[in-house]
Every structure is written in C-alpha cells, then in structure tokens.
C-alpha cells in the first residue's frame, strides 16, 4: 500500500460528475479530501490517495483521461 | 544559537519540530519556520548588524541555522541607483538590487546556503534538486564546498550554458529525457525513494528562509527603510513572499518603520499562473503548462503561488506579465542603460516595470526596487542575433571603408 497527495482541477463540465467516488470504487483507492473549493464553473480538490501503486497509477490515468488536471500538492518539484 | 522554534503550517497553524519536513500532515499545506521574535529583538540592533560580515551571513541571527554555515560568499550584493533606466521608464527613484553578483550568478545562493547548512546539520551526506539551471548550479557549488554528494536532475531542454554552470562543480548530473511534467513526476518519486536532503522538498522551509536576506539587505542599503515599491520575479513564488517576510520582520523587530511597500509580481506571459489568478480576482492558482524562453521562472504549478498572491493583495501591490519579446527587450534595455547583463527573468522584471510605470500604477516619485535575480551570460542563445560585428581586413583602409562614416557621424 502507498499514499499519494494530489490536487485535482475540474473543468466546468465535470463538476457535477461523481469522479472521486468512481475513482475510489473502480480502482480500489481510498480517497481522503483535505482541502477543496468548488463553484459552479470551476473546482479544485486536494486529496490523499491510498492504495496499491499500480491502482493509483491507473486511477490517475483514468481521471486524467476524463479531463481532470492532476498535479502534485507540493507544487512543481522542478525549480528555476 | 538561532531563534527558530518550530515549523508551522501556513494554513492551519499546526506546529512541527524543526526537522526535514515541508508539508502539514493534516491539510497538506506548506510549513514555514517560526521564530521567537521577542528574544530575537532583544539580541539585535542596527549597529550590530551593520558591523557583521559583508555577506548574507550578517543576518545569521535571523536565520534558522545552528551549526557552522556553508558559505561560498553569497549576498550583500550592490543596490545601485538606476538613473538612466529610471529616465527611460519615467521613474525618479529607481534602484536595482543586482543579485547577478552572487557566486553562482543568481539569488538562489541565498536560499541554498541556508538549505545546505541545514542538510549538514541534520546529518545528510547527500543533497539533491530538480532544476532548470540556476538552482542546479547553486546546489552543486554548495555541496562541493561542504564536501557532500549532490544529485542534480535537469530537463533535457536546459540551455548548454546552464549545464556547464552546474557540471563544473562535479555533481552527479542526471538529464531527464521527457516533458516538463515527466521531470516533475519522476523527481517526486525519486525524492520519496532515497533519503537525501532534497533542497526544495524536505529542506524547503529552510531554503525559503535564505531568500529573506534579499529583503533585509535592500532595507539596510536604503539606510534602514523599506522601499515604496518592489518588483520581483516569481516562479514558485517563494522569493516574492520572502522579500516581504524579510521587510515585515525588520519592522516587527523595530529595526525599520512599519512597512508600507507595494509588492509587484513579475512573470513571463508563457508561464503566468499567479498573474492569471490575480487578474481573475481569485486566491487559488490554477496550474498551467509553461511555454516561454524565460526558463528560470517557467513553473506551471507554483508551490507558493497562493501565498505570493496574498502578499501582492495585502500589500496593495499587483501582478503583471510580459511576453518573450518584451523580456528580451528588457534584458537589452537594462544592459544598455545600466551596464547590467541579466538573464531573461531580469528582462521580465524590467518589462513589467515599464508597464507599471507607463500605466501610472507605480508613480514617478516612488522609491522603487527592481530585483534582478540572475545573470545573463549562461543563457546567451536567446540573444544570438544581437551579434552583428563589422568585419574588416587588418588594414586602416578597410576600417575606414567599413566604419568611417559611423565615426564621422558620432
Ligand atoms: C533568476 C531567477 N529569478 C527568480 C526565480 C524565482 O524563484 P521562486 O521560485 O522563489 O519564485 C528563479 C528561480 O526559480 C530564478 O532562477
Ligand atoms: Zn496544516
């Protein structure tokens, strides 16, 4: 089991979809929301994912394919 | 002895011991060093500070370092009155903080000097970073001085001069064949896998504190006062927030009058997530995918973006971006008016300053400091087309033929 902290950014058309719920269900990932702000036209959620490494990888690939942007919560590791 | 007392979550206030740790377990927000300012104030005076070494380490008591510092001669860089540039831009009291003149040619030495000192204190024998060049050089140089191992990860499109600038110190240089996002993803995993002092991950709170010294120096060099306006570039946003923190601390310690400085963020239009948020009136920074030649500040998902926004807003400042062409014009204008050859990030600052002055946001009489944070010679390729020499034969006739008219018209 491993943990990964990520930020999801949702475009307007995905805000009403139960993406985090599906992510948990389909990929056997435990999702734990720490911070979030969702309005009618945009939303972001900071959460921790816990599960098998390969499930987390596949889950993130699926979320990304739906049109959600996934970023590390620590910000970019690369710096100037 | 240092006055640092804990790491504190910037969002929820939860405190942690002074360890290699950068994020709150509860809300996943960044941690920051907090100090016992009361005790610090008792031990500090202008006279004592002014009598210290002519480097950033004159402010040692305001930094979170206990042991001996790893110092390669960083800081106390010139603050020059920029009358020629000021005349061009319509600013009567313009100063340039020239941080090109640090040992590895950028302000990063300030942050890295503190981070590597802490790494040694924590007992790490290895430090690491992921960088587009400036941080890489600085980490490699400090590791050399401290006799530590350095692993430096760079994206495959780093400018050749920046690679040489890091390689000379003989770190273990790893060039990642992949996109910007790939490098990020990879380095997040690398940092988890190995128990290194990762400069901008587990050492980040200490790294951040080093940048405060730029703010301290500006105030001291102005005769112990804060400027009316500061324009500084933002990538992760850390430097910007720490210049402010530096000024704020000096006021809190009674070393300067209360600060009323307007802080302006400068970014390249091809990577301006913080400016976008400012213009949208939002306090949340939506990540972008960078696309600009100003690689040293091309960060799409800035770790301290939210806090940089808060500083810009609370200080009555702002945020502004310029495109690549304007950045290059800025580099040329700075060189041709003040004799200072900055890298493109400096051009962005000058371009932004031009816009803010032209639109009256920064007023003619305001004492304004432009932070020029990195030197130009390592990224010469962006200026290749300025080299157009007159080619002559080694005879006076040839010289006369080629530039005679020019000489007579001068
Ligand atoms: C020359 C230069 N200026 C400014 C910055 C901005 O630094 P920060 O990440 O603290 O915003 C960087 C580094 O990223 C840099 O290399
Ligand atoms: Zn917290």
Choice among A30-34, B26-30, B334-338 with the minimum mean pLDDT? B26-30
Contacts of A70 in chain B (CB under 8 A): none
The H or E element spanning position B252 is: helix B238-252
Going by C-alpha positions, the residue among B407, B347, B342, B405 that lies closest to residue B377 is: B342
Average pLDDT over residues B88-111: 98
Would B160 be classed as within a structural domain? no
Pairing of strands B229-233, B126-130: unpaired
Distance between CA B240 and CA B228 in Å, rounded? 15
Boundaries of domain holding B292:
79-105+217-386
Instruction: Give the confidence band of B328 by pLDDT, cuts at 50, 70, 90.
Output: very high
pTM: 0.95
Question: Distance between CA atoms of B216 and B210, rounded to whole angstroms?
Answer: 11
Helices B212-221, B238-252: crossing angle, 10 deg rounding? 50
Q: What is the reported pLDDT for B182?
A: 84
Candidate from B155, B345, B346 with most ligand 1 atoms within 8 A of CB, to mutate: B345
How many Å apart are CA B262 and CA B190, to the nearest integer? 39
- For the residues B195-202, what does the mean pLDDT come to? 94
> Number of folded domains in chain B?
1
Cα–Cα distance for residue pair B268/B285, rounded to 1 Å: 15
pLDDT value at position A52? 96
> Residue A73's pLDDT is what?
87
**Rounded to a whole number, what is the distance in Å from the CA of A77 to chain B's nearest CA?**
5
DSSP B134-178: HHHHHHHHHHHHHT-EEEEEEETT--HHHHHHHHTT--EEEEE-S
| Residue A17 φ/ψ, nearest 5 degrees | -85, 140
Q: How confident is the model at residue B184 (pLDDT cuts 50, 70, 90)?
A: confident
Q: Above 90 in pLDDT, residue B5?
A: yes
pLDDT of amino acid A74: 83
Q: How far apart are CA B262 and CA B231, in angstroms?
A: 9
The verdict on residue B381 lying in a domain is yes
* Lowest mean pLDDT segment, chosen from B64-68, B191-195, B366-370: B191-195
Residue B321 lies in a domain: yes
Q: What are phi and psi of B14, to 5 degrees?
A: -55, 140
CB B370 within 8 A of CB B96: yes
pLDDT tier, A40 (very low <50, low <70, confident <90, very high otherwise): confident
| ipTM attached to this prediction | 0.84
- Phi and psi (nearest 5°) for B347? -65, -35
**For B71-75, B106-110, B190-194, B260-264, which range has the lowest pLDDT when averaged over its residues?**
B190-194
Stretch A35-51: mean pLDDT, rounded?
Answer: 91
Q: B176 pLDDT band (50/70/90 cuts)?
A: very high
Lowest mean pLDDT across A37-41, B109-113, B355-359, B382-386: A37-41
Task: Determine, yes or no, domain membership for B29.
Answer: no
Mean pLDDT over all residues of chain B?
96
Mean pLDDT of B298-324: 97
Which domain CATH number covers B255? 3.40.50.1100
Under the banding of pLDDT at 50, 70 and 90, the label for residue B277 is: very high
- The CA distance from B143 to B128, in Å, is 9
Q: Is B104 in the pocket of ligand 1 (CB under 6 A)?
A: no
C-beta atoms of A77 and B187 within 8 A: yes
What was the pLDDT predicted at B179?
79
Tokens describing residue B352: 């932004």
> Is the pLDDT at B334 greater than 90, yes or no?
yes
For residue B387, what are the contacts with CB-CB under 8 A and spacing of at least 6? none
Residue pointed to by tokens 């995993």: B189
What are the b/e assignments for B226-237, b being 16+ CB within 10 Å?
bbbbbbbbbbbb
| Nearest alpha-carbon partner for B239 in B69, B81, B408, B110 | B110
Length of chain A: 80
Q: What's the CATH class of domain A2-72?
A: alpha beta
Dihedral of alpha carbons B187, B190, B192, B196, sign: negative
Q: Is B298 within a domain?
A: yes
- pLDDT attached to residue B349: 98
- Whose CA is closest to atom 9 on ligand 1? B236
Q: What is the mean pLDDT of residues A43-59?
A: 95
Quickly list DSSP for B283-346: SS--------S-GGG--SS-TTHHHHHHHHHHTT-EEEEE-HHHHHHHHHHHHHHH---B-HHH
- Flag whether residue B299 sits within 8 Å of chain A, measured between CB atoms: yes
- pLDDT at residue B181 greater than cutoff 90: no
Calculate what percentage of chain B has a pLDDT beyond 90. 93
């Amino acid at each position: 089991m491993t943990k990964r902290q990520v930020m999801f950014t949702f475009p307007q058309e995905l805000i009403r979809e139960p993406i985090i719920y599906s992510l948990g269900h389909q990929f056997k990932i435990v999702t734990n929301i720490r911070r979030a702000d969702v309005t009618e036209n945009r939303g972001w959620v900071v959460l921790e994912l816990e599960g098998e490494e390969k499930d987390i990888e596949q889950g993130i690939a699926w979320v990304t394919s739906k049109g959600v942007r996934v970023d590390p919560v620590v910000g970019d590791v690369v710096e100037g | 002895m240092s006055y640092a007392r804990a790491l504190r979550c910037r969002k929820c206030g939860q405190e942690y011991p002074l360890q290699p740790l950068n994020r709150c377990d509860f809300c996943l927000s960044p941690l920051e060093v907090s100090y016992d300012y009361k005790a610090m104030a008792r031990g500090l005076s202008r006279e004592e500070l002014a009598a210290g070494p002519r480097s950033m380490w004159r402010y040692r008591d305001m930094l979170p370092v206990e042991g001996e510092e790893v110092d390669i001669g960083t800081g106390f860089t010139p603050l020059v009155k920029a009358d020629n540039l000021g005349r061009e831009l319509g600013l009567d009291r313009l100063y340039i903080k020239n941080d090109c003149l640090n040992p590895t040619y950028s302000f990063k030495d300030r942050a890295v000097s503190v981070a590597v000192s802490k790494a040694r204190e924590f007992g790490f024998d290895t430090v690491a970073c992921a960088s587009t060049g400036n941080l890489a050089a600085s980490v490699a140089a400090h590791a050399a001085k401290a006799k530590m191992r350095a692993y430096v990860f760079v994206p495959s499109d780093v400018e050749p001069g920046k690679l040489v600038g890091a390689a000379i110190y003989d770190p273990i240089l790893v060039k990642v064949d992949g996109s910007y996002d790939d490098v990020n993803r990879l380095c997040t995993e690398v940092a988890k896998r190995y128990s290194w002092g990762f400069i901008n991950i587990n050492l980040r709170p200490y790294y951040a504190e080093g940048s405060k010294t730029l703010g301290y120096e500006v105030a001291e060099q102005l005769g112990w006062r804060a400027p009316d306006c500061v324009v500084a570039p933002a990538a992760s946003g850390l430097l910007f927030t720490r210049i402010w923190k530096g000024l704020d601390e000096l006021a809190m310690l009674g070393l300067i009058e209360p600060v009323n400085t307007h802080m302006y963020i400068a970014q390249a239009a091809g990577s301006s997530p913080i400016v976008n948020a400012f213009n949208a009136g939002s306090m949340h920074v939506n990540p972008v995918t960078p696309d600009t030649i100003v690689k040293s500040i091309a960060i799409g998902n800035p770790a301290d973006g939210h806090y940089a926004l808060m500083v810009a807003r609370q200080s009555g400042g702002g945020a502004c971006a310029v495109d690549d062409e304007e950045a290059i014009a800025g580099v040329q204008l700075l060189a041709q008016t003040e004799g200072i050859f900055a890298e493109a990030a400096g051009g962005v600052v000058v371009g932004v300053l031009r816009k803010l002055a032209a639109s009256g946001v920064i007023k003619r009489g305001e004492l304004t400091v432009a932070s020029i944070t990195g030197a130009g010679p390592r990224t010469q390729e962006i200026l290749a087309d300025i080299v157009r020499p007159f080619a002559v034969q080694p005879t006076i006739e040839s010289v006369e033929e080629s530039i005679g008219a020019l000489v007579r018209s001068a």
